[in-house]
A and B are shown apart, each in its own frame.
Chain A
C-alpha cells in the first residue's frame, strides 16, 4: 500500500460552458493520516478540488479533466461506488445531508443502502458512535441536535462506513467558537485513528497545531503551499509570514475573542428593554424572565450567549416580530406599536434564499425601501448601495442566481435601504471569505458612525474583533 492517500499532478478541470478553467496546473501530495487545509477567496476553485476528491466530478458534474489524480490508490475518474467506500464528505450545512430522523439511523444509512446484514450494521454503528462519544445521543431526533452534534453525527456515519479519507467543506461556518475548538480536537483524534483529512475552510485560526499541509488557491491555481517539517514551524505561521495574505482574500491567521465592555454603560440607549418576560407558547420553556438591558446608539453591539440562550428570539422581539408576555421595549424612549417597530428596524436573517423575492437585484433593493420615500430618492439610494457593496455590475441579475457572498452583501444592502434606526444581523458573514467579510464589516461600522444602533449575533470572532464595540450578554434562563 502506498504511503500517499492523494497524489495530484498538474490537475486541470473546466466546467461545461465555462470560459476559464476552475482548476489549472494544481499539484500536491498528502500522506495517510495527515490533514490538509485548502483555502482561498470565493470562486478560487477549492470546492471544485473537493468535488474531484470525493468523486462528485465526474459522477455528478460534467466537464473536462486533465492531469493525473490518484485518491486512495484509485486513478480518477472511477465510478462513485468505488470511491464512496473510501471517501466521506462533511458538507457545510449538515441539515442538507441528513436523510434520517434519528442519530443512529443517520449513522446506519450508508450501510443500509449497501444492503449489509443487520448484525454487521449494528456492530459498526455502535463502534462509530463510541469513537465520537455519541452513544448517549443514539436515539435522539436530529431536529434537536446542536450544529456541533450534527457534524459529529455526519463524521460517525463516515467512520461507520469505514472511509479512510474525510473531506470537509467549510466545517466551521455554522459552529460556535467552543464547538470549533471541539472540532479541532476531534480532527486530531481522527488523525490518530489513521484517517486522512482534507479541510476546505475560510476560517484558519482553529487549525493551528492540527495541520500537516496547507494549499492556497487563487483563480484555480495554487499560489502557496506549505508543509509541517519535523520540529518545524506550523504551516499557518508560514502562511501568516506571506505579504500577500490579504490580497488573496483570506481571513486572518490569528484571531482571539475580543474583550468587550457591557452595552448598558456604553452610551445613550437607542433601545431600552425593561423586565422582559417571554416564552414561545404556554408549554415551552421561559426564555426571558424579567430581562433588562440597553442597546446603545451609534455603536455595534454584539449579542453574546450560549446556544439556546435566546439570541435570535431577542432579535425577533426587538424587531416587533414577537410579542413579549410582560415587560416593555422602548425605542428612542417610546413604546411603539409592533407594526411601527418593524418599520424602523431591519433584520438580516441567517437564511438568505427566503429574504429575496424580486426579479432583479435592483428591484430587490427598491422593494426594500419604505413606500413613503419618493421614487427618485429610492433609486438614488439603490444605486449608491449597489456601488458601495460592489454589486453594480449585477444590478440586472436575478437575486437568486448570485453566489453566496454576493447574496449576503445584497441582503445587508436591502436592510440598509430601509434606513433603519436599529439594524440586527444574525450571522451575516458565515461561510464568507476575508474580502466579503471585510466589505460587510466596513458598512456596519459606517452605519454605527452615522448614529445607527447595530446588533450583531455571530460566531465569527474575526468580525467581532473588527467591528463590535460593546456586548450584551444573555444567560440561558433555567427556570421552567
Chain B
C-alpha cells in the first residue's frame, strides 16, 4: 500500500495561513460595521461588545493558524488596510505596532505555544494593551494642548480594554474549545 502525504513546497507562511489571516481581517472590518448597526460604537455597552467580539475573533484566528509571527502578520495586514482605506499617519507607527505584536508572539511561544489556550489569551491581552497604549500616544499628539481631551480618550481606551478582558478573552477561550470539540479547528 502506498502511504501518501502532502507534497508541499516550503514557504514558512503557507497560503492557507495567509488566507485565514486575510479572512479574519475582513471579518473584523465587517464586524465593526455590525456594531455600527447596533447603535454606534460610542455608548458604553456597544463599546464593550465591539472590543469583546474583536478579541474573541483574534483568539479563534490564533488557535487556527498556530504559527509564530501570526500576530505580526495580522498587524501588518490590518495596518496596510487601514492606511489604504483612510490614509493617515498610522502607517508611521507601523514599526511600533509590529514590535508590540512581536513581543506578544514571543510571549505566547515562551508560554508553551499556540496550542495552549491560556498562552494565546495572555498574548492577546498583552497585544491589545500595547495597541491601546500606542493609540493613546497618538491621541496625545493630536490633542496635547488640552489634558481633558487626552483624559476622555484614555477613559474610552480603558473601557474598551475592559471589553477585551471581561468579554473577549473568556468568550474566545470558550469558543476555541467548542470549535475544537466540533472538529472545526484541529485538536493538535
User: Does B7 contact A65, Cβ atoms closer than 8 Å?
Assistant: no
B182 contacts which of A58, A63, A398 (Cβ < 8 Å)?
A: A398
Q: Which of B152-178 contact A (CB under 8 A)?
A: 178
Q: Assess whether A66 is interfacial by the CB under 8 Å rule.
A: yes
Across the interface, which residues of B come within 8 angstroms of A359, CB to CB? 178
A59:B182 contact, CB within 8 angstroms: no
- Contact among B6, B179, B183 with A59 in the assembled complex (CB-CB below 8 Å): B6
What does the 1/0 interface line of B1-27 toward A look like (CB < 8 Å)? 111111110000000000000000000
Q: Which parts of A130-145 form the interface with B (CB within 8 Å)?
A: none
In the complex, chain A residues whose CB is within 8 Å of the CB of B178: 359, 398
Choice from B3, B4, B6, B184 contacting A400 with Cβ under 8 Å: B184
A60 within 8 A of B: yes
Q: Are A64 and B183 in contact (CB under 8 A)?
A: no
- CB contact between B7 and one of A59, A63, A400, A401 (< 8 Å): that residue: A59
Count class of interface residues, chain B: 10 to 19
Is A80 an interface position by the 8 A CB rule?
Answer: yes
Contact code string A59-103 (vs B, CB < 8 Å = 1, else 0): 111111110000000000101100000000000000000000000
Q: Counting CB contacts under 8 A, is A425 at the interface?
A: no
Expressed in whole angstroms, the Cα–Cα distance for A359 and B179 within the complex equals 9
A66 and B6: CB pair below 8 A? Answer: no
User: How far is the CB of B188 from the nearest CB of chain A, in Å?
Assistant: 12
The residue of chain B having its C-beta at the shortest distance from the C-beta of A401 within the complex is B182
| Contact (Cβ within 8 A) A64 B7 | no
B184 in contact with A65 (CB, 8 Å): no
Task: Please encode chain A, from 35 to 65, with 1 for each CB lying within 8 Å of some chain B CB and 0 for all others.
Answer: 0000000000000000000000111111111
The CA-CA distance from A59 to B8 in the complex, in Å, is: 7
**A63 to B4, Cβ gap below 8 A?**
yes
With CB as the reference atom, state the residue of chain A lying closest to B8: A59
B144 at the interface (CB under 8 A from A): no
In the bound complex, residues from chain B placing their C-beta under 8 Å from that of A59 are 6-8
Contact-residue bracket for chain A: 10 to 19
- Alpha-carbon gap, A63 to B3, bound state (A): 7
The total number of A-B Cβ pairs within 8 Å is 39
Judging by beta carbons under 8 Å apart, are B184 and A60 in contact?
no
Chain A residue with Cβ nearest B2? A65
Complex CA–CA separation, A59 to B7 (angstroms): 5
Could you give, for residues 378-405 of chain A, a 1 whenever the CB lies within 8 Å of some chain B CB and a 0 otherwise?
Answer: 0000000000000000000010110000
By the criterion CB–CB under 8 Å, are A401 and B2 in contact?
no
Per the bound structure, the CA–CA distance linking A65 and B3 in Å amounts to: 6
A19 to B125, CA, bound (A): 42
CB-contact partner of A64 in B4, B181, B182, under 8 A: B4
Closest partner residue, chain A, to B184 (CB atom): A400
Contacts of B4 in A (CB 8 A): 57-58, 62-65, 77
From residue A355, how far is it (CB to closest CB) to chain B in Å?
16
- Structural contact, A58 and B5, CB atoms closer than 8 A: yes
Docked CA distance A57–B5 (Å): 9
Q: Is the CB of B7 within 8 A of A66?
A: no
The answer to whether A58 and B7 touch (CB under 8 A), given A64-B1, A66-B2, is: yes
- Shortest C-beta distance, A42 to chain B (Å), equals 18
Residue of A nearest to B7 (CB): A79
**Chain B minimum-CB-distance residue to A67:** B2
Residues of B with C-beta under 8 A to A65: 1-2, 4
Question: Could you tell me if A401 and B184 are in contact, using CB atoms closer than 8 angstroms?
Answer: yes
Query: What residues of chain A lie closer than 8 Å to B5, measured between beta carbons?
Result: 58, 62
A64 vs B5: C-alpha distance when bound (angstroms): 9
- The interface residues of chain A lying within 8 Å CB-to-CB of B6 are 58-62
B residues near A66, Cβ cutoff 8 Å: 1-2
Binary interface profile of A, 335-369, with partner B (CB < 8 Å = 1, else 0)? 00000000000000000000000010000000000
> Who on chain B is nearest to A400 by CB?
B182
Query: Are the C-beta atoms of A77 and B7 separated by less than 8 Å?
Result: yes
Residues of chain B lying within 8 A (CB to CB) of residue A398: 178, 181-183
Tell me the nearest residue of chain B to A55, going by C-beta: B7
Query: Whole-angstrom distance between the alpha carbons of A64 and B4 in the complex?
Result: 6
Asked whether A80 lies within 8 Å of B7 as measured between CB atoms, the reply is yes
Chain A nearest CB from B44 CB (Å) reads 26
Q: Give the complex CA separation of A401 and B3 in angstroms.
A: 27
Residues of A close to B184: CB separation below 8 A = 400-401
In the complex, what distance in Å separates the CA atom of A64 from the CA atom of B1? 7
List chain B residues, Cβ under 8 A from A62: 4-6
A82 to B, closest residue via Cβ: B7
Q: Give the distance to chain A from B4, nearest Cβ to Cβ, in Å.
A: 3
> CB-CB < 8 A to B182: which residues of A?
398, 400-401
Residues in A neighbouring B181, C-beta threshold 8 A: 398
Nearest CB in chain A: distance from B150 CB, A: 39
Query: How long is the Cα–Cα vector from A60 to B9 in the complex, in angstroms?
Result: 12
The residues of B that contact A79 with a CB separation of less than 8 Å are 7
Complex Cα gap A77–B2 (Å) = 10
* CB contact under 8 A between A64 and B8, given known A398-B181, A400-B182, A401-B183: no
* Nearest-Cβ distance from residue A97 to partner chain B, whole angstroms: 12
Residues of B contacting A80 in the complex (Cβ-Cβ under 8 angstroms) = 7
Give Cα A79 to B1, complex, Å. 19
**Shortest Cβ distance from B5 into A: residue:** A62
- Cα(A59)–Cα(B9), bound, Å: 10
Contacts of B3 in A (CB 8 A): 64
Please list the 9 inter-chain residue pairs (A to B) with the smallest Cβ-Cβ separation, ordered nearest first.
A58-B4, A398-B182, A401-B182, A79-B7, A401-B183, A400-B182, A66-B1, A77-B4, A65-B4
Q: What would 25 A/B residue contacts be, using CB atoms closer than 8 Å? A: A57-B4, A58-B4, A58-B6, A59-B6, A59-B7, A59-B8, A60-B6, A61-B6, A62-B5, A62-B6, A63-B4, A64-B1, A64-B4, A65-B2, A65-B4, A77-B2, A77-B7, A79-B7, A80-B7, A359-B178, A398-B178, A398-B181, A398-B182, A398-B183, A400-B184
Known: A79-B7, A398-B182. 5 other contacts (CB 8 A): A58-B5, A59-B6, A62-B5, A398-B178, A400-B184
